[in-house]
Structure 1
């Protein structure tokens, strides 16, 4: 009977652990609409240039979408828009985000995204709608990791960013360790019952 309880507990543990858990999410709707934004409620930083928080009443090219980020700012120097996250070794993390074209010119914008050791480059045509993308990596050690977005332009009209989420899923090796530990507990309990 005890072994059956251990098996049920292991199955429940794995089922709950196998699902992605959001550790960070930001849609920028609580941030103040502002050109050359420097303060973000989600803990973002801007270095080496500027970004703009735009939306209703402030260069709103996607009415009804709320607030979003123009990654090229208004100073002819696009900033590195980044967020530092404390991550755990052995966990797989996925950053999902939406990018759109600038919707004010026909020019393409290239956005470079870095998340831990993963990176991607995305070309957005001027008229592209918000499209979801993702980057996944496994943290090799516990500690701070950066998620960053950088527009390649310098004309004050950049690609747009919205709906950033980071989720975590334990690696399969973590499941094996959990199951192995539960198995050892089951063996110890059985021996104790027999002894």
Structure 2
């Protein structure tokens, strides 16, 4: 086999390696871009599907302050029918409750978290009520709704700028046993990915490097013959 033939084959192999490297990076990026569901809860299976006042045995949550009521299904204080079970954030102890996720969630710089949840007014003509929603140091916002508001979906998307671990919390405001109603909580995370241009750059660099290597070998061979 001639030296020229060997060089040509090496060039093709180098280009192929560069291409497969870029494809591997692209595949990895696609996998990392997938959204991960960290928490999803509609409360419908709590307590065997039956409402109860001052409930504190949630599957995904701890009641870390005050009390909350599990209401709705089977006409147990069911102010908004056809929504299954939901939570009254101001329980029956004259002290609004704080629901905090049992799990702590880890976020890296560049991650994007998506938080959706539903809130409704108290439905008992008690004026405006509020709840503070937080995710550690990443997010903190107070939501206030009139008494008659039906369930409304709220969505927040935030890019993480500092790596942290945090718990999701819904903290009722008040102490009269009548608070905002909470349902259908979902928290997802999307990891950061390289820009598409960087992937193309890897491919172009690999092809350029292989071509340059081939040319150098050919020049060296010509110099030896001369």
Q: TM-score range by the shorter chain?
A: 0.7 to 0.9
Q: Counterpart of 2:169?
A: 148
Q: Unmatched 5+ residue regions in structure 1?
A: none
The reply on whether 1:46 has 2:63 as its aligned counterpart is yes
The reply on whether 1:103 has 2:120 as its aligned counterpart is no
Shift of 1:12: 3.3
Between the two proteins, the alignment pairs up a number of residues equal to 190
In the TM superposition, 1:6-45 aligns within 5 A as 6-32=21-47, 33-42=51-60, 44-45=61-62
Whose helix fraction is larger, Structure 1's or Structure 2's?
2
The reply on whether 1:112 has 2:129 as its aligned counterpart is no
Q: Counterpart of 1:3?
A: 18
Measured in 2, the distance between the counterparts of 1:15 and 1:141 equals 22
TM-score (norm 1): 0.82
Q: Counterpart of 2:72?
A: 55
Measured in 1, the distance between the counterparts of 2:70 and 2:152 equals 18
Q: In the alignment, which of 113, 126, 129 is matched to residue 93 of structure 1?
A: 113
Q: State the Cα RMSD in Å.
A: 3.2
Q: SS state of the match for residue 39, structure 2?
A: strand
Measured in 2, the distance between the counterparts of 1:76 and 1:125 equals 20
Whose strand fraction is larger, Structure 1's or Structure 2's?
1
Q: In the alignment, which of 185, 194, 199 is matched to residue 164 of structure 1?
A: 185
Please tell me whether the aligned partners of residues 120 and 135 of structure 1 are also in contact (alpha carbons under 8 angstroms): no
Measured in 2, the distance between the counterparts of 1:16 and 1:61 equals 43
Measured in 1, the distance between the counterparts of 2:135 and 2:88 equals 19
Deviations 1:61-102 (A, max 9, x none): 121211111000011100111114231322222221111111
Please tell me whether the aligned partners of residues 38 and 105 of structure 2 are also in contact (alpha carbons under 8 angstroms): no
Shift of 1:21: 2.1
Measured in 2, the distance between the counterparts of 1:124 and 1:142 equals 30
Please tell me whether the aligned partners of residues 145 and 180 of structure 2 are also in contact (alpha carbons under 8 angstroms): yes
TM-score (norm 2): 0.72
Structure index of larger Rg: 2
Measured in 2, the distance between the counterparts of 1:166 and 1:157 equals 26
User: Quick one: structure 1 residues 115 and 139, their matched pair in 2 at CA, closer, same or farther if it must change by over 3 Å?
Assistant: farther
